[in-house]
Amino acid sequence: MKLLRLDRGFTGYGMLKRSSKKRDVNVAAADIVNKATEEAHIVKNPAAVALGRLGGLKGGKARAANLISARRVEIAKKAARARWGK
């Protein structure tokens, strides 16, 4: 097998290394500004945030209080099988 020359961008037996596509500096700058300002335009409804947090805070405790012990054991066994059954 013939070795390829390393001084012209070749790497061993493989293909020629290709540089990534070069982008215009102005296009790259515009992309950065667009990505940075996208997050600033997102405005969340404070009432919806509070309601979601309220449900999230009491969700696990409320579910556990409503479960009978047999169902809780069933859920725990399923979780153990998923965790250790691999």
Average pLDDT estimate for 61-71: 90
> Is the per-residue pLDDT at 47 higher than 80?
yes
Q: Which residues contact 7 (CB under 8 A, 6 or more apart)?
A: none
Instruction: Using a pLDDT cut of 90, give the percent of the chain over it.
Output: 23
pLDDT-derived band of residue 69, with 50, 70 and 90 as boundaries? very high
pTM, two decimals, is 0.35
